[in-house]
Amino acid sequence: MTLEEVINEVLQNIRPTEEERAFVHSLMDELKEVARGTAEGLGLDVNPYFVGSTAKDTYLAGDHDFDLFLAFPIDTPIEELREKGLELGTAIAEKLDSYEIAYAEHPYVRARYKGVKVDLVPCYDVKDWKDVRTAVDRSILHTKWVNENLKGRNDEVRLLKRFLKGINAYGSEIYVRGFSGYLAEILVIKYGSFLEVLKNADFMLRQKVIDPGNWLRKEYETAMKTVKREAEEDRPLVVIDPVDPRRNVAANLSWEKFGRFYFKARGFIEGPSAEFFFPSERGIGNYLEELRRKGTHLLTLTFDKPNLIDDILLPQLERSARGFERALSREDFTVLGWDVGHSGGKAFIMLELDRLERERVRIKPGPEFFTERGWDFYRKNERVWLVGKRLYAEKKTDEHIVDILGKLLEKNQVAMGKGIREKVKRAEILLDYVPKELEKEAYLFLSREKWGLRE
Amino acid sequence: MTLEEVINEVLQNIRPTEEERAFVHSLMDELKEVARGTAEGLGLDVNPYFVGSTAKDTYLAGDHDFDLFLAFPIDTPIEELREKGLELGTAIAEKLDSYEIAYAEHPYVRARYKGVKVDLVPCYDVKDWKDVRTAVDRSILHTKWVNENLKGRNDEVRLLKRFLKGINAYGSEIYVRGFSGYLAEILVIKYGSFLEVLKNADFMLRQKVIDPGNWLRKEYETAMKTVKREAEEDRPLVVIDPVDPRRNVAANLSWEKFGRFYFKARGFIEGPSAEFFFPSERGIGNYLEELRRKGTHLLTLTFDKPNLIDDILLPQLERSARGFERALSREDFTVLGWDVGHSGGKAFIMLELDRLERERVRIKPGPEFFTERGWDFYRKNERVWLVGKRLYAEKKTDEHIVDILGKLLEKNQVAMGKGIREKVKRAEILLDYVPKELEKEAYLFLSREKWGLRE
C-alpha cells in the first residue's frame, strides 16, 4: 500500500465520527453549564475551561475524556484555591454520575458522566506565563495556543499520536518518557503535517531548538537560559513552550523514545504499513529459554513497593541498579544489563549476569618485597610468592553471588537511592527465577525487546 | 641451635675431606700432564688451564667436576681454534675413559675419567679483558682473580653456595636465573664471610652497584656504560665483573631469585636451621585438589619440544604465555597465572583460569543512532536496542575456551615467540588435566610453591 492508502485507512479508525463529535460537543456544553451554575450558586468567581485533547479536538476516536479546569482569579490565596476548588469540584460532581477525590499538586475530583471520565481541576485563570503559579495553570494557555495555531490540521495530530502510541513512544510520564500530546501538536504545527514531522525526524534532532513562540526574539534572556539548561541536560530536543519561555516541552523525552521515533519514522516512509499504528500483539517468549539461549543468568531483587510516586521511585531504582552494576563489576562479574520497575505492589531490580559463581580465591598483589610494607605483607599472608620484584598472595573470597551481594550491602558498598536503601538491603534475592507477575517483564528485559528497535 | 652450631654442622657435610681433596689434586696434575703432552705431540702451542670450582677449591664435597680449558694464542684464527681445539680435545679424551662431543658457542669434548666429568674446552689465552674473543675466554681470568682474592675463605663460599642451592636460588642458567658460583665467590670476597653476605642482603640491593675491580676508577667510561645499561634493564644487582668492566656478573639474576635470597637470608639469621641448606623433600600435593580448593581451572598447551636451547626456547614460551594472558583477558577470562617449561620431550604452557566457559552472547556497543554508522549498525544487526543515544546489539560468541582459543590462534591474535608459533598452533589442549610427567609441575604452579617464599 502507498503512504496515502495507509494513512487513509488509519484515519478511518482514529477520526471520530460525526456522532461521537456531536456527543462530545453537547456533553461539553452541558458540563460547562453545570459548572458555571454551580460556581454561581456557591458565589464563586470561577471560569470553567475545557483543556486537553477533547478541547483541542485532537482526541482519538473513542478516547474522549474531559479535563474541565475551574479557573480562579489569580489573586486568590493558594489555600483558598485548594479548599474552594475541591468544594466546587465536589459540588459539580454531585450532579454527575459518580466521583472520587484524586491527588496531584492539589486534590481534585475525578467524576464520571454518561460513561465519560471528567477531571475537575482547580487552577488560576492566567492570561500570561508570568502569572503561572501552579503546574496545571499552563494547560489553559496550551489549549488556547493550539486552537489558534492548528488551523484544521487536527487529523494530522491524530495520525502522529496514533503513530507514537503504535511504536510505544507516546506519553510523557516518567515510566514512558515519550512524546506528550501537546508536543505532538506543536510538531504538527511546526512542520505542517504528520508526514512532514516524520520526514523531519533527523532534521529536528540536528536543529535541536524548536521555538514556535519566537521567544528567542521576544524574551531572549529567559529563552536562552532554558536552551542552555536543557542543552546541558543533553535532551534530544529543546522545544521552548510557546506559552512559557522557561519551559522545554520535550523535557521528559528520552533519547530511547526519540530514537524509536527516529527509526520508525524512516521505517514507515520506506515501508508504509498500518502495523506502525496498530502493531499486532507480539507473543511474549519464555524468559527461562532466553537465559538458556544466551547462557547468562538473571538476578532479581524484589521488595514491597515503597509508598513513593513513580517520579521519585523509578529514578531511585535506576540509581540503585547502576550501583549494583558498578559494585558487581568490581567483583569480577559482568553485568550485561539491568531493568527496574514495579508490578503488583512489588518493586524490582533485575540484573543480567555472566555467571553466579566465581573462583574461590583471588590473587592479591602486594608491595615490592624490599620495603617495610613488603615485610608486613610477607608476614600477614600464608601463601606468598614473587612476580618480578612484587609480592603476591592468595586471598580467599566468597564464591557465590548471593554471599558477595550480602557483604556488599552490609558494608554499604553499593551506591543506592537513599529513599529505598533500607528496603533494598532487605530485598528478596531471586536467581534465574521470577514470580509469575514478573515473567513477562523478565522476558522483555532479557530479550531486550523492551528497548528493541525491531519487532 | 645457634648460627655457629648450624654452620659447623653444615660444614661437616660440604667441606671436602682430605682424601677427596688429595684425589682432586692428583687428578688435576695427571690431566694437565696428559693435556700438555698431547698438545706437544700435535705440535700445538696450547696452555691447559683448570677453571671452575675445582680450580678455585670452592667445590662442594662430592661435587668435583673438572673444566680443563685449552688456551690457544690469541692470534689464532677462530676457525683454526675451532678445528684444532676439537682435535686436541678428542686426542686428550682418547686417553681417558670415555667422551662425547657437545656444542656451545664452539664444539667441545665432554670426557669422563675415573668417575669424574671432564670438559675439554678450547679458548683463547687472554691476559686481559680487551683480548676476550669468545664467551669462555673470561673463565681463566675469573679463576685467577678469585684465587688471588679469596684469601682462604673458601669454606665461606661453600656455605653460601650450599645455602643458595638449599633455597633454590643457585645457578645462572636461564631456567634458574639465580646466583652463579662466580657471583657467590665475589660476594664473599666483597662482604668477608657467608654470614656477612646474608646480613647485607638488603644493603647490597640499595647499594645496587658492586665494583670489586674498582673499574669505576680505572675505566670510568666503560664501567659507567655497563652500570647505565644494566640499571635500565632493572637488574636487582649490577656487579661489575672484576676482570671485565663491560659485564654485569649478576646479569642473569632475577628479582624472584634475589627475593628468595632476601627473605631466606633474614629467615636464617632470625631462626638458624640446617633446613635452609638441606631442605627436607617437600611432599608434592595433588594438582586436582588444588583446582578444587581454589575453584579455578587449568588449561595446558603441550607440544613436542622444539630443537632449541633453553636460552632461546624458554623466553619464547614466556612471551607466548603472556600473549595468551592478554588475549584471553580481552575475551573476558581472568588469567590468575601462567607457567612454562618442558619435560620429557614435551614443551608446555599452563594457564590458570577463572572459568572454562563464558556466556553465549556478548553485548556489542554500537555508534550513536543518528549517524550513518548508526544506520549501518541498525541494518547489520538482528537484535538492536538503545541505551541513551547509543545503539547496542547482541553478538553470539563462542562459549567454550577451546573454541575461543582455536579462533584466536587461527586469526593470529595471540602474540607469540615466532620460533614456536607453528608448534603452539598445533599444540594439544588439555583442560583440568595433565599427563603424569606434568603432575608435579602443575601442582607446584597452582599452589605457587614454585615461586613460593614459604616452605
The Cα A119–Cα A104 span in angstroms is 12
The predicted-structure confidence for A322-349, as pLDDT tens digits, reads as follows 999 999 998 889 899 999 999 888 999 9
Average pLDDT in chain B: 93
What digits encode the pLDDT tens for the residues B153-193? 999 999 999 999 999 999 998 888 999 999 999 999 999 99
B356 part of contact set with chain A, CB < 8 Å: no
Instruction: Mark yes or no for CB contact A256/B294 under 8 Å.
Output: no
Single out the residue in A94, A109, A143 at which a domain terminates: A143
Q: Which domain holds residue A328?
A: 287-357+399-447
Distance separating alpha carbons of residues A427 and A447, to the nearest angstrom: 25
pLDDT in tens, B371-394: 889 989 998 998 889 888 999 998
**In this structure, is residue B452 part of a structural domain?**
no
pLDDT over 90 for what percent of chain B?
76
CA distances from residue A337 to A178, A265, B385 in whole angstroms, order as listed: 22, 27, 12
Across B13-28, average pLDDT = 96
pLDDT, tens digit, 9 for 90 and up, residues B130-152:
999 888 999 999 999 999 999 99
Please report, for residues A115, A368, B45, B104, B131, the alpha-carbon distance to residue B69 in angstroms, rounded to integers and kept in the order given.
115, 42, 13, 14, 16
Q: In this predicted structure, what is the pLDDT of residue A455?
A: 59
- H helix intervals, A239-350: 255-270, 287-294, 310-330
Phi-psi region of A99 (alpha: psi -120 to 50; beta: other; left: phi over 0): beta
> Residue B6 domain-assigned?
no
Binding-site sequence positions of A for ATP: 53, 56, 142, 161, 170
**A123 φ, ψ to 5°?**
-155, 180
Same domain, residue pair B73 and B202: no
Q: How many Å lie between the alpha carbon of B451 and the closest alpha carbon of chain A?
A: 5
Q: Please report, for residues A193, A440, B364, B381, B450, the alpha-carbon distance to residue A454 in angstroms, rounded to integers and kept in the order given.
A: 25, 18, 16, 10, 55
Is A113 found in the same domain as A185? no
Task: Report which secondary-structure segment, H or E, holds A247.
Answer: strand A244-248
Same domain, B222 and B308: no
pTM: 0.70
CB distance from A17 to chain B under 8 Å?
Answer: no
Contact with chain A for residue B259, Cβ under 8 A: yes
Q: Look up the CATH number of the domain holding residue B194.
A: 1.10.1410.30
pLDDT above 80: residue B427: yes
Q: Helix and strand tally (H, E) in chain A?
A: 18, 15
Are residues B217 and B209 in contact, defined by beta-carbon separation less than 8 angstroms? no
Other CB atoms closer than 10 Å to residue B311's CB: what's the count? Answer: 11
Interchain CB contact of A389 with B (< 8 Å): yes
What confidence tier does A396 reach under pLDDT thresholds 50, 70, 90? confident
What mean pLDDT do residues B324-334 have?
Answer: 91
- The cell 562479574 sits on which residue? A333
Using the Cβ of A358 and the Cβ atoms of chain B, whether some distance falls under 8 Å is answered with: yes
CA–CA distance, B188 with B202 (Å, rounded to integer): 15
Distances (CA, A) of A254 to A164, A182, B300, B393, B410: 14, 16, 50, 19, 44
Q: What is the CATH number of the domain that holds A136?
A: 3.30.460.10
B158 and B263 both lie in a single domain: yes
Domain end point (choices B109, B143, B177):
B143
Query: B82 CA to chain A: closest CA distance, Å?
Result: 39
Interface test with chain A among B204, B353, B389, B397, by most A beta carbons within 10 Å: B389
Judge whether residue A383 has pLDDT over 90.
no
- Structural domain includes residue B106: yes
pLDDT level of residue B417 (50, 70, 90 thresholds): confident
Kindly state the cell numbers that stand for B48. Answer: 691447559
Please tell me if residue A236 touches chain B, with a CB cutoff of 8 Å.
yes
Type of residue numbered A252? N
Q: Does B271 touch chain A (CB under 8 A)?
A: no
Q: Report the residue of chain A nearest B339, measured CA to CA.
A: A387
Q: Does one domain contain both A180 and A81? A: no
Pick from A239, A278, A371: which is nearest to A11 by CA?
A278
- Mean of pLDDT values over A401-412: 90
Mean pLDDT of B196-218: 95
Provide mean pLDDT across the span A401-429: 89
Query: 3-state DSSP call for residue A60?
Result: coil
Among residues A276, A310, A343, the one where a domain terminates is: A276
Search chain B and give the residue with CA nearest A354.
B359
Average pLDDT over residues A103-128: 91
Residue B348 lies in a domain: yes
pLDDT at A211: 97
Minimum distance, in Å, between the CA of residue B235 and any CA atom of chain A: 10
Across the interface, of A202, A360, A386, the residue whose CB is closest to B451 is: A386
User: Which residues of B, range 156-215, sit inside 8 Å of A by Cβ?
Assistant: 202, 205-206
Looking at the structure of chain A, the number of domains it has is 4
Q: Look up residue B390 and give its amino acid.
A: R
Q: Are residues B98 and B207 in the same domain?
A: no
CB within 8 Å of B104: residues ≥ 6 apart: B121, B135, B136
What 3-state DSSP class applies to B180? Answer: coil
CB B137 within 8 A of CB B124: yes
- Asked if residue A83 is part of any domain, the answer here is yes
User: Is residue A353 assigned to a domain?
Assistant: yes
pLDDT classification of A419: cutoffs 50, 70, 90: confident
What pLDDT, on a 0 to 100 scale, did the predictor assign at position B455? Answer: 59
- Residue range A130-143: mean pLDDT, rounded: 92
Instruction: List residues bridging with A430 in a β-sheet.
Output: A300
Percent of chain A predicted with pLDDT > 90? 76
Of A185 and B315, the structure prediction assigns the larger pLDDT to A185
B56 is in an annotated binding site: yes
Q: Are residues B139 and B40 part of one domain? A: yes
Q: Of B295, B369, B447, which has the smallest distance from its Cβ to A262's Cβ?
A: B369
A220 is a domain residue: yes
Asked whether residue B214 falls in the same domain as residue B232, the answer is yes
Asked if this assembly's ipTM is beyond 0.90, the reply is: no
Predicted confidence (pLDDT) at residue B398 exceeds the cutoff of 90:
no
Task: Please answer yes or no on whether B384 and A359 come within 8 Å at the CB atom.
Answer: no
Nearest Cα of chain B lies from the Cα of A40 at a distance, in angstroms, of: 52
**What's the whole-number mean pLDDT along residues A337-366?**
91
Is the Cβ pair B452, A383 closer than 8 Å? yes
Residues A116 and A17 in one domain: yes
According to the annotation, is B170 in a ligand binding site? Answer: yes
Residues B20 and B126 in one domain: yes
Average pLDDT over residues A408-422: 87
